Chain A
């Protein structure tokens, strides 16, 4: 075996240029697929993270009837005990309650329908980081009544500015149409401008007063520090409060779920294409190497090298090319992904389109460590597969063919 490995190793350096071309093509293949996957991961991960952070949180808790019909009366009955339960658990999380009502946002220049979110300003900041997304003005001030923050885009549409007043109009718990005047203290902008325009935020106490629903909440949003605990946390809460509707972000935002599952599928397709391209490239080269050495291979068999050994010699030669290229490809990929993971790829030229879909304009490449291992295995497996045909060609040679040529 040692001698076969030694011959195989030396054989690949007989034609250095050709071997380096193959190694180079495998290396570039590994780098391009990993970098492309990291970009795709970055794009989708950013989208899903933004969705979780600014829209859905990891978990939302509602009155089960809320799902069917978002009526004001479908409130949560035991908000404080749910929040207390969540805060007492061992997992790291932030949770906040919200009051929600659909209504109209009116300015002197126009009106639009929107979801009015009554929030607990401090807890909301911890969950959705909306306080960090204020691009003009400021976040809520404690003890001040009738403050409102709205999306920058909505302000543009309604031709509103900071400190201007607007009127919110909606139906209260008694079925009466009520209105309240609010002063804009801040404009926010998240990565999803379309979603931004769909809601406004006021303090929960202000909204509850207008709704005539003191201490009521329609929603509890939970953000987990470790999203891997999601299934367990959801199950725990559901077991503790079986009469409540507990949904995770995949149920609330099917688009995020779709992207995540699509990501797996598309990555498998990418890797398959990569393997196919690589297979044909390697087969071509190894076939040339075998055909070029017909005479020598025949001579080896004439001397007593059996077919199994000849087969493995060709397989080892091919595997060696892949194994040489692999670490270089992985290192190059790791360096590129780390660099663009830190600095990001700036796509602000396409900002309008991307923000419409909730995509960040700065995509930071990212790839799960497992993918490095998966691709390494795929590369070795590809080289192994690619070696089979040339190896079969080699063992089907007749030694006499070589003898006739001498």
Chain B
């Protein structure tokens, strides 16, 4: 069953000045439990496609259906709430909340979901243990290494029990060992929890571990 269905996606930046055609009619379907990498050279439209799938940007043309819900017509707050409950994000620059501890960062999305304290605490601890950061729960991002921060980001992305996780160049700032560990961890979560992961990357190490690779060139899937 496809949990993400993108049909005829077009996106052009600066249409009135110097138009940049980021996506030119992308059709894409992602099924539950996939571990998919969207690859392509810089400027091929990977991040744009990820942003549109994640509801952070809107297509000029085409539709995005997530879990049988067309998100193209959502208003701002509807989209925010939809993202909160359905999509986990892992960013290249980790983007943890600097004033919160690792555990609080993981709890944060669950707080937004109004889940109770006990449930939040148990889930945050479980996830941080799963990403091997059980002993760093009370550390703030500034006290963690890049790899550790990215693992917290993965734990945070999973905390809300999303339908899928979008990861935009998650390994771009990590060294080889940390990248390998992070991918192992994500693959384990994919297999054990049947969590769907969609990456945008041009990191060969990620591409090698992906079960499905979608290649974008000049805004089109090839």
Residues in chain A within 8 A of chain B (CB atoms): 3, 6-7, 10-11, 13-14, 295-296, 299-309, 399-400, 402-404, 406
Contact = CB atoms under 8 A, between A and B. Distances in A.
B69 interface: no
Contacts of B100: 7, 10
Contact of A406 (B77, B92, B99, B107): B92
Interface string B112-123: 110000000000
Nearest to A401: B56
Interface size class of B (residues with CB under 8 A): 20 to 34
A296 B97 contact: yes
24 contacts: A7-B97, A10-B100, A11-B99, A296-B98, A301-B80, A302-B54, A302-B56, A302-B83, A303-B83, A303-B109, A304-B109, A304-B112, A305-B80, A305-B112, A306-B77, A306-B84, A307-B76, A399-B80, A400-B51, A402-B95, A404-B47, A406-B91, A406-B93, A406-B168
Contact of A302 (B85, B89, B169): B89
Contact of A303 (B47, B92, B108, B168): B108
Nearest to B113: A304
Contacts, number: 74
Given A303-B83, A304-B83, A406 B108 contact: no
B141 to A, nearest CB: 11
Contact of A7 (B51, B99, B109, B156): B99
B81 interface: yes
A95 B221 CA distance: 103
A403 B112 contact: no
Interface of B: 47, 51, 54, 56-57, 76-77, 80-81, 83-85, 89, 91-93, 95, 97-100, 104, 107-109, 111-113, 156, 160, 168-169
B189 to A, nearest CB: 18
Contacts of B95: 295-296, 299, 402, 406
Contacts of B113: 304
A121 B54 CA distance: 94
A403 B98 CA distance: 17
Q: Which of A14, A299, A307, A399 has the most CB of B within 10 A?
A: A399
Nearest to B80: A306
Given A403-B51, A403-B168, A304 B80 contact: yes
A134 to B, nearest CB: 70
A402 B51 CA distance: 11
A179 to B, nearest CB: 90
Contact of B89 (A7, A303, A308): A303
Given A309-B112, A400-B51, A403-B51, A300 B97 contact: yes
Contacts of B51: 400, 403
A308 B156 CA distance: 22
A306 B78 CA distance: 9
Nearest to B79: A399
Contacts of A403: 47, 51, 56-57, 91, 168
A399 to B, nearest CB: 5
Q: Which 3 A-B pairs have the closest CB atoms?
A: A304-B84, A10-B99, A3-B111
A304 B77 CA distance: 9
A302 B97 CA distance: 13
A182 B112 CA distance: 91
A3 B156 CA distance: 16
Contacts of B92: 406
Nearest to A10: B99
B76 A303 contact: no
A126 to B, nearest CB: 67
Given A400-B51, A400-B56, A406-B168, A304 B99 contact: no
B80 A307 contact: yes
B56 A304 contact: no
A306 B99 contact: no
Nearest to B84: A304
A403 B107 CA distance: 21
A13 B140 CA distance: 14
A300 B95 CA distance: 9
Nearest to B107: A3
A296 B89 CA distance: 14
B99 A303 contact: no
Contacts of B156: 303
Contacts of B89: 302-303
A308 B76 CA distance: 11
A307 B80 CA distance: 9
Given A11-B99, A304-B80, 6 more contacts: A7-B99, A296-B97, A300-B97, A302-B83, A306-B77, A306-B112
Contacts of A305: 80, 84, 112
A14 B98 contact: yes
A14 B113 CA distance: 26
A406 B95 CA distance: 8
